Amino acid sequence: MSTRPVIAQRGDTLRCRGWRQEGLLRLLENVLEVGERPEDLVVYAAIGKAARDWPSYHTIVATLKRLGDDETLVIQSGKPIGVFKTHPLAPIVVMANTNLVGRWATPEHFYELERRGLIMWGGLTAGDWQYIGSQGVIQGTYEILAQVAREHFGGELRGRLVLSAGLGGMGSAQPLAARMAGAVMLVVEVDPERALQRVASGWCDSVAEDLDEALARCRAAQVRGEPSAVALIGNAAEVYPELARRGVTPDVVTDQTSAHDARYGYVPPGLSPDQVVELRERDPAELERQSIAAIAAQVEAMLAFKDRGAVVFDNGNNIRIQATRGGVARAFEIDIFTERYLRPLFCQGIGPFRWIALSGEPDDIALIDDLALASFPANALVQNWIPLARQHIPFQGLPARIAWLGHGERTRLGLLVNAAVRDGRLRGPVAFTRDHLDAASMAHPYIGTEKMRDGSDAVSDWPLLNAMLNCAAMADLVAIHSGGGGYSGYMTSSGVTLIADGSPEAEYRLQHVLDADTGLGVLRYADAGYGLARQAARDADLDALNL
């Protein structure tokens, strides 16, 4: 255990030998500062962790403090292994989290290795210290809803009811994103404490303990045409079927419980939190059986909503495959959000780019907001998003911003920011990173790469190439992750982080890494046969060999 809560250091005092090391250390501290169960090193997605155990955490911290610029720290599933002499432009941290050989990549084998302290799940952005709280996925959720509005509701979600569940680390982005999109959201959360906490921190408007009361509030907001988000304390496996039985048909339906993990994530109805813990220890197979049956009931209700005309999509939690295990033959009639709404963006290398002010100064983010608005006047996504984000999104932990930028744009912004660090317009260095759910960096046949045009959904060469290329391009941190817990065997992805400290070396790294990272993304989609990606590759003059 850590003796006191971990809070990311702010200000200009260096504890390390340079800003690259200090920046990564602050990011490690930050994922725990904004994480869901920092006492267990758990950051989000049920059991996604920042380090294997507390001794590993403390060794990583001590090592970052002594690490030279020409050294590289190697981390295996959250455990520091060694430091190697490399060279001043090499990454200072490389890591591989949760990767298992194919036939062994099952939840059972993962849980057994985890119990023996031999592995941890890094989530996408927990183990490589890139998580920035619920704000990290909020633009993705907002852009999905905006696209849903354009495709199905004449561009307008005002007065529309969106139903979802789950107010965890990522799920909390939903109510705020829905409000930003003008909609009314009903979000079901089984844990009263989390629901209350989301209202207290401004991500949700109110909490109801009773379905009638929650529906009345939603209906009133719909009639007034006012954006609103009501958290209902309840179990989605009971509330969704009850709504279906009553004949209520929301306009849009999804879910963001941790349905991917039937043992540690999804909570079946009828069990108190203590009973869940007790059953998990006594008979984990029975707990999983109950979770899977409950997920099946929830997805049957989602299909009933769809049959009645609701727009229903999977929001990236493997809920359809879990429902299939529970006997729901039609689960895959529900679309996945990536293939349905976001793929054209990935074809252009546009994805969830983010930056973090290592100074801890909100003004630094404000200045970068201005730089982004001034630099991309013709980019409708940016011009719409940045003012909205400024107005609505509270910072969590170190001030940060997410903005979906594409190939070339990320590089341009990175270089402008590095110059602003150098000339003192920014109070401190800035970290650049992105979600793993990006163009080149994820193979996940039920999320990022479902129904690829050429059938290459499960080819994980792409994230591996992405990681190697980012090492070659001299990133500061590069990570290769695979699925853990309920995601075991379902995915491989890669992460990258750069510290813009104003130096010429940082400029060199930013130029090469950001171009390579998004460039490979465009080529991955071009290779899969998407015309939009082929055009993007030609427009960007990428040295593509197969167009």
CB of 465 to ligand NAD, least distance (A): 22
CB of 48 to ligand NAD, least distance (A): 7
DSSP codes of every residue in 8-29: ---SS--SSSSHHHHHHHHHHH
Structure tokens given for 68: 């030279």
Strand 93-97 and strand 252-253: pairing?
Answer: unpaired
CB of 164 to ligand NAD, least distance (A): 10
The residue assigned the tokens 């895959």 is 332
Query: Apex CA 317: angle with CA 277 and CA 466, to 5°?
Result: 120
Nearer to ligand NAD, 134 or 418 (CB): 134
What single-letter DSSP state applies at residue 483?
-
Residue type, 537: A
Nearer to ligand NAD, 94 or 342 (CB): 342
Structure tokens given for 127: 């183990």
How far apart (Å, rounded) are the C-alpha atoms in residues 491 and 496? 17
The residue assigned the tokens 């979000």 is 187
CB of 283 to ligand NAD, least distance (A): 19
CB of 265 to ligand NAD, least distance (A): 5
Structure tokens given for 446: 């039920």
| Number of residue whose CB is nearest ligand NAD | 168
Nearer to ligand NAD, 78 or 316 (CB): 316
CA distances from 102 to 78, 460, 510 (A): 21, 11, 34
Q: Which residues bind ligand NAD (CB under 6 A)?
A: 36, 44-46, 137, 140, 165-171, 188-191, 194, 235-237, 256-260, 265-267, 315-317, 437
CB of 372 to ligand NAD, least distance (A): 22
Query: Apex CA 255: angle with CA 114 and CA 269, to 5°?
Result: 70
Contact 438, 351 (CB under 8 A): yes
Residue type, 50: A
CB of 220 to ligand NAD, least distance (A): 23
Nearer to ligand NAD, 258 or 324 (CB): 258
Nearer to ligand NAD, 442 or 477 (CB): 442
CA distances from 132 to 68, 144, 202, 400 (A): 27, 20, 16, 7
Nearer to ligand NAD, 141 or 497 (CB): 141
Contact 159, 184 (CB under 8 A): yes
Nearer to ligand NAD, 237 or 382 (CB): 237
Nearest partner of 394 among 197, 166, 151, 184, judged by Cα: 197
Nearer to ligand NAD, 75 or 170 (CB): 170
CB of 171 to ligand NAD, least distance (A): 4
Nearer to ligand NAD, 80 or 169 (CB): 169
How far apart (Å, rounded) are the C-alpha atoms in residues 144 and 181? 10
CB of 121 to ligand NAD, least distance (A): 10
Strand 335-336 and strand 311-314: pairing?
Answer: parallel
